[in-house]
Chain A
Amino acid sequence: MTRDIWKHLILVIGAIIVLAPFYMMLSYSFKSPGEIDRGTGGFFGRQEMMVDERCVQLRDPNRDEIAAAAPQYPGKSDREIRDAIMEEAAVACAMRPVVFNYTKAFIEAPLLRYLLNGVIVTVSIFVIQVLVALPAAYALAKLKFWGREAVFGLVLFCLLIPVHAIALPLYIILAKVGLTNTYAALVVPWTISVFGIFLMRQFFMTVPDDLIDAARMDGMTEFAIVWRVMLPTAVPALLAFAIFSIVAHWNDYFWPRIVVTGSRDLFTPPLGLREFKGDADGSFFGPMMATATIIVTPLIVAFLVAQRRFIEGITLTGMK
């Protein structure tokens, strides 16, 4: 009984450590800048009306605008007219902090565009990775050819190469080919996933040889076997790989930051966070955390939906 308590205590501490950043992120995305700075307001913040300073400043009328507005304020001096306009602006720019943070996230940064880019990039990467990894894994697991072990050794070796070590050569190659600032630059370097080949190969090793022989007897070519027999039986493993691949490339900040230098049209969601990075006028933590929340939500939802099969795939059990 006491052992159980200890077990749970340790698990709870672990959970707190893992969840704390998410808690902060979500909480900040609700709060006003003042509350964030002072660390007050609890989880949701007090949600008092706040005035968006920048919004008000943008409405600060110049001489022409004051002149244009003069008929609405008869008998008032320019100064009084300006004050009146500024007062109206303050009312118009007042909003709840949560609305402020999330509208900022979508308006200040074209977040929808970034999310779309994220989907295009991660899905293309995953699809091409599967197109490459499945036949390769099948060959490594089930076909006998000269040098197979050596090739598999190379695959294992490639698993050891850190991405950052080859980032520069890759960048230079892409630059020379003239592919920087394109979707191709975001996708192509990741299309051959040695991890995917390795994972699928390990899974294919567990598929009985008889099944493949039966497919051959039934008149399938080797490619037909890969797509019609191995792919459907490998769905749990593929799901596991999908999560690894999609999480890695959806969240990747490093590579898009390197190859996308000009156009914001190619920004992926993590690059969207930069929009609120503090420059001279301080950081916008509220909108930044709202953006972060929006970015991680699709992943969390996808994981919850696929959770059961994902764990099945990682443990690679339940298949015979």
Chain B
Amino acid sequence: MAGLSIRSITKRFGDTEVLRGVTLDVADAEFVSLVGPSGCGKSTLLRIIAGLEDPTSGEIEIGASIVTGTRAADRNLSMVFQSYALYPHLTVAENIAVPLRMRSLSAAQRLPFVGPFLPGAKEQRTEIASAVQNAAEMLEIGALLDRKPGQLSGGQRQRVALGRALVREPAAFLLDEPLSNLDAKLRVQTRAEIAQLHRRLNATFIYVTHDQVEAMTMSDRIAVMMGGEILQCDAPSVIYEDPNDIRVAEFIGSPKINILPVELGHSEMTLFGLVLARVAEASKAGVYHLGLRPEALKLTQAEPMITGTVAHLENLGSEVYAQVALADQTARVTLRATPAERHSLRLGAQVSMSFDLQDALIFDVDGTRQRRVEVALSNEREVA
């Protein structure tokens, strides 16, 4: 077990820059998710950590030693692939045993026919067999050990791939979208199991996914990647509640955060012409983005801040999401309502909403979070 540190890694394929100076430190036993839309470079970063791809520049450090340029096999990392990548000609037990066989048996001991009779081979082989047995029991695939991968279901293959990764004690586990080939129900179940596995093994995990729910539910920290950069790396709650960048705010959270244009004058902030708040110390005047999570919007009768008609309803049972087309605007906002409020939400119904400015996130036109403006707004409120 060891920590990992990635220092200003860049990677180019020809003229396209896939990674632009990524720096990330992962502590020992930490679970870090790399999350981002497809093509953001997260898988490339994982492959560079694994040693399957060489970075154009930058360094990778595992434990206390720099491994840039070291072969994948010598980095002592385990990887679980999206396609599981099990050896189709080997049984489950043999598949799981491969990393141990390649490491603990000498080339001569691995030979067919002769190998098992060489001195020391027998002890090694019993050790490997018991390690395989342990791994299989941990993942509850003990009954499948004699089958070939072709005879297994997707979920079972996934477990075998996990077994092959954890049968030895690597410095870190790298997981490349391991759940994306599973059906929705199994995905939720396996998600919990991987999180438990992390706790039990107390090992370093680096988990690549495009699914923000996976990242939110499993990780100690989430690194949100876009365009070859890490935009923000923080605990899931911080990423959700306190994003640094509008792209992070938009990527994390489902349904998506509502973004509304606001105008900041010298002394006040307006939304569609309505004065939201007064600002004491004027920041740079201009157009800003106001970010509101669906749960920040509340249905109200008195002093509505925004009004509109319900354009689409999604009832999930425990909650209701309503898309509201704003009056005189092209934008729609998504509102989360409790089932109790459902009666007031019908398609085409007029609704009025308000929100607490404390729940609002303010970004400038480039998408950078403007905490100073938020502070200024709240100070003003206290004064008032």
Contacts and interface: CB of A to CB of B under 8 A. Distances in A.
Nearest to A234: B89
Interface string B4-47: 00000000000000000000000000000000000000000001
A217 B79 contact: yes
B73 A221 contact: yes
Interface stretch (A135-143, A206-214, A303-311): A206-214
A235 B89 CA distance: 10
A318 to B, nearest CB: 10
Contacts of A224: 102
Interface residues on chain B, size class? 20 to 34
A64 interface: no
B85 A219 contact: no
B89 A232 contact: yes
Q: Which 4 A-B pairs have the closest CB atoms?
A: A219-B102, A232-B89, A214-B85, A210-B85
Interface string A194-238: 000000000000001011011111111100100001001101000
Contacts of B81: 210, 213-214
A216 B72 CA distance: 6
Interface of A: 208, 210-211, 213-221, 224, 229, 232-233, 235
B73 A229 contact: no
B82 A217 contact: no
Contact of B102 (A208, A220, A233, A235): A220
Nearest to A229: B87
B83 interface: yes
A219 B89 contact: no
Given A213-B52, A233-B88, A208 B83 contact: yes
B203 interface: no
A92 B79 CA distance: 79
Given A210-B82, A219-B103, A232-B87, 4 more contacts: A211-B83, A213-B81, A215-B98, A233-B87
Nearest to A211: B85
A233 B90 CA distance: 10
Contacts of B73: 216-221
Contact of A218 (B52, B82, B88, B98): B98
B72 A217 contact: yes
A220 B74 CA distance: 10
A271 to B, nearest CB: 37
Interface string B161-205: 000100000000000000000000000000000000000000000
A214 B81 CA distance: 8
Nearest to B165: A217
B50 interface: yes
B74 to A, nearest CB: 8
Nearest to A216: B72
Interface in B76-129: 77-79, 81-90, 98-99, 102-103
A213 B78 CA distance: 11
A287 to B, nearest CB: 44
Interface string B37-74: 00000000001001110000000000000000001110
Given A210-B81, A224-B102, A217 B87 contact: no
A218 B164 contact: yes
Contacts of A229: 87
A218 B99 contact: yes
B365 to A, nearest CB: 42
A219 B83 contact: no
23 contacts: A210-B81, A210-B83, A211-B83, A211-B85, A211-B87, A213-B72, A213-B79, A213-B85, A214-B79, A214-B81, A214-B87, A216-B71, A217-B72, A217-B77, A217-B78, A218-B73, A218-B98, A218-B99, A218-B164, A219-B102, A221-B73, A232-B89, A233-B87
